Amino acid sequence: MKTPLTKRVLEPSGLPVYHAEVDAPVTHVQVWTPFGSDRLNYRDAQTGREVRLQPGSAHYFEHLLFNENPLKYDKSLKARLAYHGINMARTVLGNKRSDALRIPKRRIGSGMSVLKANRATEVNAFTFYDTTNYWFLGNKRVLENTGILTSMVLDLHLPEWRFKEEAGAVVEEEKAKQDILFTVLVNRWHAQAFHETHGAHFPVIGTPETIVRTSYSDVVSLFKTFYTPSQMTVVVTGRVDIDQVCEVITQQLERLGRNIYQTPPQEIAQQDQYGVREADNFGNPIQRADIKRPMVFFGWKRAVDPTELSLEENIRLQLASRIAGTGLFGEGTMQREELIAQGIDDRTFGADTLETREHALVYGHVDTEDPQKTREIIQGAASKLRSDGLSQNEFDYARNVILLAVDTANMARIASNLGKWAVTTGDPASYHRFIDLLENVKPGDIQDCFDQVLNPDNFSMVLAEPKK
């Protein structure tokens, strides 16, 4: 069942606000910007100058913005709400029990703590390859919290001491993630598959070297460039008066002086070089003491130029990617059974797909004592799919697995999918078009896409083994 979707554009800022009317006990409000780790360069809309970014810039900026503390030390909740333009007299916090909701006197992040103190049920933010997203979920004071979220994302309060303090925190986070085996495999695979001209070559979080190379002036420039209402998107999912939501957001834009249209930065195609940097690391495998058996992480990359790809082709390729990955490696498929019969270890075999604005992947991992044989088995199955496709029965099975995963009855998943497609294609309604195609597609409709999705020149494999 399609989710009813309406759109408002808040003029003159140009900020689009989408409302997905879902009958749920809570409301989900999210603010997206198409600024993620894939973005390494852009053309400034005002000067025409090409700008090169440090890897990890988007994630670093999200840390600063989401955890930033404009008052430095806490005051009462009333004062902090007022800072975000929320009139205390309009809330139930003005009664005699408001003292119970005062925030302890300690340094805290302004956004998360104020929203939670104002009865938001869940609050978070994340940076991905193609997006940064700030959101909250709740059923209390939704309008006030929408105002707080708008203020938090679109008003930069960044004293230089805060900038310097967070740099250390991000570096420590990056170092901690270096200990997670799967993260190590994924980052090594991206470094092998993509070239340094493409953001996907680097970890989403950046590296200790690139983090410290990001200057205070760089961060201020990022905010002015990428956190502009004209290129951002608000998606509200749930039962709410969307006119009131838009009024609150408009008031905040006016209060912050952000109610003026600004031309978004121009995208520059990343032009990732053809093929992968390294086909494998078999001559120099990752060695770790916590690994008991050798294992491989494998996959195909597909670099995307969003400035040239039509919406229809984008949707078709994303669907082909998911059909290919599910049809080859999905639980219960005959293709997977054939792989297991040839020696793939079913106990440790997992696979998935990923699609962003800038790149797409079909990938998997499995324990193996013979990585070369595993490569031959995997690539042989992909070659057969490229030439013969899937039988109608296997195609229908893969499609039904994907439909089940879509789960249009789950409100949080609906909200996430709408936001993702809003950034990936510029229109959350394209999510519905994807579902329509998924429900009606036939094998021949996407067979030609498999050559792009599973191009053998775009295949790379990472080996990790017990430390000797």
Q: Is 379 part of a structural domain of the chain?
A: yes
* Encoded tokens for 115: 């929203």
What is the arithmetic mean of pLDDT over 75-90? 54
Q: Tell me the average pLDDT across 458-468.
A: 95
Strand 459-466, strand 286-288: pairing? parallel
208-241 confidence digits (pLDDT tens): 888 888 888 888 888 888 899 999 999 999 999 9
- Residue with tokens 């104020």, as numbered in its chain: 114
Could you tell me what percent of the chain has a pLDDT over 90? 49
Torsion of CA 95, 100, 104, 108, to 10 degrees: -70
Question: Is residue 275 in some structural domain?
Answer: no
**How high is the pLDDT of residue 369?**
95
Q: What is the pLDDT, as a whole number, of residue 186?
A: 94
pLDDT at 258: 92
Q: Which residues pair with 235 in a beta bridge?
A: 18, 30
Closest CA to 359 of 187, 129, 35, 154: 129
In a domain, 109, yes or no: yes
So what's the pLDDT on residue 108? 39
- At 358, the pLDDT band (50, 70, 90 cuts) reads confident
Q: Answer whether residue 297 is part of any domain.
A: yes
Over range 245-256, report the average pLDDT: 93
Q: How far apart are CA 14 and CA 9, in angstroms?
A: 6
Closest by Cα among 245, 223, 252 to 17 = 245
**What pLDDT does residue 408 have?**
62
Model pLDDT for residues 400-413, shown as the tens digit of each residue: 999 887 766 677 78
At 14, the pLDDT band (50, 70, 90 cuts) reads: very high
* Reported confidence tier of residue 111, pLDDT bands at 50, 70, 90: low
* Mean pLDDT in residue range 349-354: 95
Whether residue 160 is found in the same domain as residue 23: yes
Residue 281 maps to a domain: no
Backbone angles phi, psi at 361, to 5 degrees: -135, 150
Examine the domain organization and report whether 238 and 158 are in the same domain. Answer: yes
| Within-domain flag for 273 | no
Domain boundary among 240, 267, 294: 267
- Predicted confidence at residue 44, as pLDDT, reads 84
> What tokens appear for 233 in the block?
């998107």
Question: 210, 235, 267 — which closes off a domain?
Answer: 267
Pair (92, 192) in one structural domain: yes
CATH number of the structural domain spanning residue 370: 3.30.830.10
Asked if the model's pLDDT at residue 82 lies above 70, the reply is no
Q: How many domains does the chain have?
A: 2
Average pLDDT over residues 373-383: 97
Instruction: Tell me the average pLDDT of the chain.
Output: 85
Q: What are phi and psi of 403, to 5 degrees?
A: -60, -40
Q: What percent of the chain has pLDDT over 70?
A: 86
Could you tell me the pLDDT band of residue 274, with boundaries at 50, 70 and 90?
confident
Residue 279 within any structural domain of the chain: no
Q: Which amino acid is at 28?
A: H
- Is 296 found in the same domain as 260? no
Would you say residue 87 has pLDDT above 90?
no
| pLDDT for 194 | 95
Do both 139 and 42 map to the same domain?
A: yes
CA nearest neighbour of 299 among 234, 337, 355, 260: 355
* pLDDT of 105 higher than 70: no
Query: pLDDT at residue 140 above 60?
Result: yes
In angstroms, the CA 88 to CA 75 distance is: 14
More confident call, 118 vs 100: 118
With 50 as the cut, is the pLDDT of residue 92 above it?
no
| Domain-located, residue 418 | yes
User: 42-51, 122-131, 188-197, 281-290: lowest mean pLDDT where?
Assistant: 42-51
Q: What is the mean pLDDT of residues 51-74?
A: 69
* Distance between CA atoms of residues 252 and 247, nearest Å: 9
Which of 110-119, 178-187, 214-223 comes out lowest in average pLDDT? Answer: 110-119
Length of the chain measured in residues: 468
**Same domain (yes/no): 261, 380:** no
- 314 with 229, same domain: the answer is no
Residues 6+ apart with CB under 8 A from 254: none
Mark whether 260 and 305 lie in a shared domain: no
Q: What is the pLDDT of residue 98?
A: 34
The whole-angstrom separation of Cα 87 and Cα 257 is 18
Q: What is the dihedral of CA 223, 225, 229, 234, to 10 degrees?
A: -70
pLDDT at residue 102 is higher than 70: no
Amino acid at 50: E
- SS3 of residue 150 by DSSP: helix
Q: What is the pLDDT of residue 69?
A: 43
* Cis, bond preceding 12 (omega within 30 deg of 0): yes
**Judgement on whether residues 253 and 401 belong to the same structural domain of the protein:** no
Note the pLDDT of residue 78.
59
Domain shared by 135 and 171, yes or no:
yes
Query: Among the ranges 57-61, 125-129, 304-308, 415-419, which has the highest mean pLDDT value?
Result: 125-129
Q: Is the Cβ–Cβ distance between 291 and 464 less than 8 Å?
A: yes
Segments forming the whole domain that contains residue 65: 5-267
Residues 169 and 248 in one domain: yes
